[in-house]
A and B are shown apart, each in its own frame.
Chain A
Amino acid sequence: MSVHSDDYAFLKTTIELSTSSLPIEEKIKQILQSTTDHFHPDRSLHIRPEAILKGGFLSRVAEKREALWVDEKRPFQEEAILVQEKDLVCPTFACLPLSEEPSRSGIFYIGFSKSRTFSSAEMDLLLLLAKELGSAIQNDHLLKATEKTLSDLKAIHRMGQVVTSTLNLEELLAHIVHTGLKILKAQGGVLRIGQEDSEELRVRYSIGSYHQNPLDERIAKKVFLSRTPLSLTPETEEKPFSSLLCAPLFSKERGIGTLAFYDKQSDSSRFDERDLQLLLTMANQMSCAIENAITYHEISSMALDHERRVRQLSILWELNKALLTTVNFERIVHMTLTAITIGDGLGFNRAMLFLVDEKDHTLKGLMAIGPNSAEEAGEIWSTLSQRKGNPSELIAQIEPSMNNPSRLNAMVKEIQIPLEHEQCILSRTVLEGRPFNVKLPHGQEEWVQTRCERGCALVSEVGCYVSEHLSQNPKVYAFATIPLWGKGKVIGVILVDNLYNQNPITDEDIRYLTMFSNQAGLAIENAMLYRNLEEVHQELKETQSFLVHQEKMAALGELSTSIAHEIRNPIVSIGGFARRLDRALPDDAPEKRYTRTIVKEVERIENILSHILTYTHEAAPSFKPLDLREVMEDSLSMISEGFRNGGVQLSRDFSEQIPTVKGDYYQLKQAFFNLINNAYESMKGEGTLSIRIYPQSINGASFVKVEVEDMGGGIDPEALHHIFNPFYTTKDNRLGLGLPIIHKIVTSHQGKIEVNNHPGEGVTFILTLPAQEEKEK
């Protein structure tokens, strides 16, 4: 086929135009222009697919996908012509469908007002033109579709980047809404997450104020429950939005929440199908990410929880280890309270312990630990924070000072609460065996309501008691009490507060404290039992030694009584005849010295014998009210001879008012005599012997004290422990049976005897005898 050079140029231009980078509209325009230049038709048109109306001949051309040629040789045979199409029908024209899909590319039309005939070359050329035009349009379609897909992919990629960028839930949710907003070019967005245990949806992130609209929540709920996306474009003007997209977020059958976007940024346009698809794709993608983040969030909070529990358990273990180091009651109580207040332990500001007294049915304050003031608290905390080591070591290092000088401790020791008191939180803690967490009233109103008649900050009287005493400002006093369990019963109450740093006491704190105090309770109870055991043991030991002593006494009594009696008869004979002999001898006889000696020594033996018999045989004493000053004077008269002759000075210091003492005259006289005689003999004729008698009141009971002070050089410290033991013998002549007898007499008068020994100087014996009570007189 020969090709006309004009035709060639036309084709070249057409191909160049169709493959150029011009926008499609410009391409079509220039190609149509080039066609007009070449064929000189009256009209040449590109009929867009949307302009092909149904029922017209154009639509039939499109359907048949065949070119329609009308000229002199090929008359127009169509009958059904739409009004809009009438213009196109002229003597010569052609309609060529563009590409295989004219419904997408349209139809090329060329018309001539004169009658003529299309040559076959013209027809070929026009068909080629239509093909070129069609493929240009189709290419453009493909390009646009590709661009769109690319941009969607980019958006999805961006979303993908966003959702994998972080595991922090809050951050992720914010990212999602912001990115979605950008991709969809929306004005606002709302993200809701469903609650685990209810069907409630909670707004987790929002841009704009659309979430305030109740309709928004209703839509979200519907979408969430039905798991069906919703695209809404309300018709009426009053709606608070003009366009809405809402997609459910769910993964693996589990609903997560909803994501909604409102209103395109350009007012006119509305969300289209593509936007919805994009949102669904995003929603799908982000559901997984959100679920992951939620799971991560849950796991990390679980891990935190576990970590906290492990820490608590290890601290509990440490504290228990410390508690196991001792059975000393005071120490255990001190350790317990320290563990509650130490920062590495339970970390309360102050802790107080009250113990149940079952006998009195009361709750008694035992000990308190905590700073006296906020300044002191600060100092303690800064010191403690510098210390290193396990809590068990720290606590074990702390020496309990029983004279804990703190005001708080002194105050708590004073507190006594009857256990019947149902209004009292401390006693309720014991009676109900459960913890109380008394929180701060939230507002002034509540504060006024909880004031009781006594003007207390809290509902209860003890609350009032506690707050009056334990807080400078009862209005801001929050505290917690927990029962201290022993074996199967409440043995006390621990009260804790955070007076200085005002940290709220949480239920978690209470649980932790309860765990610890359960251990501490057992330790305290054990220590109490141990202490009781020790006391009983001590009593038993004393009783035992008393019994042994008694037995010794009884043995001594039996032995010495029989010996004394056996000796007495021969002594009486010896002494009696010696006296006779002495009397028979003339005063100047040299033998007189011998008889005198015998008489004197026999007297001594007889004295010893009567001491033994007095000590071992208790003649039934007769108790009468006695004035000890008189008894003392009578005793003194027995040896006043000695004071007159020798150089020993006697000093009496008797109070004017002395209560009477109920006692046996002879026994007390003997006791006083022995005391004075011992003192007198120890002084070897020089110095002053002082005797003092005065009343004394001890714990409300009345006593009379008798002091005998000598200057006889004191007692050998080694012998001091044995001076009341009748079996102990020493060269010191004062330590015969005299002191054991005094001891026995004083003890039988419910009195006691003390010794103030100053070796090298002298010794003071102090007798304390109970005065006769007023009502007995």
Chain B
Amino acid sequence: MLQVRLVITVAACALAMPALGEESYRIDPLHTATTFSVSHLGISLQRGSFGRTTGMVMLDPAAGKGAIDVSIDASTVTSGSPPREALLKSEDYFNVAQFPTIIFKSNKVRFDGNAVVGAEGELTMRGVTKPCALTVSGFKCAIHPSTKTPVCGAEVMATVKRSEFGMTKNAASTGDDVTILIAVEALRQ
């Protein structure tokens, strides 16, 4: 009888484990910076960033599962030059009036032990959805020393061809390959 109970208890625990192992994190927009760089004239690498990145990340390292749902406010694009920012917001580039949000979603998160090392998902930009792979480095979780809440941080990298999203202007001066770097900090819910 005791043995049966034990077995049931163990089984119940095992069933409960995946749910316990699943953790939700809300992206901290103040410390999550989406930046991008692109070759200009083949002689320099020009950078820009988005001021607001929000979203949720669900991680279950024990089950090797996770999900990412991130939105970038396209209208927060900056590049340190007002005329260039106007150009980036225009129909030729991000077309923010028509497509205010850039979205990345993934249900395929890759782990090395407990650390996230990558994700395969879909990037939607200017109304075009394409597969997009993220490389994640420096993944680390700890208790925030000031707020005492669990925080995870990482550096996320992806490369995309802007032409695949219909962003084909100024091909003579501006490269097609765009490197995206996202500094992420996310607070456990």
Chain A partners chain B: no
Which of A's residues lie within 8 Å of B, judged by CB?
none
User: Which residues of B are interface residues toward A (Cβ below 8 A)?
Assistant: none
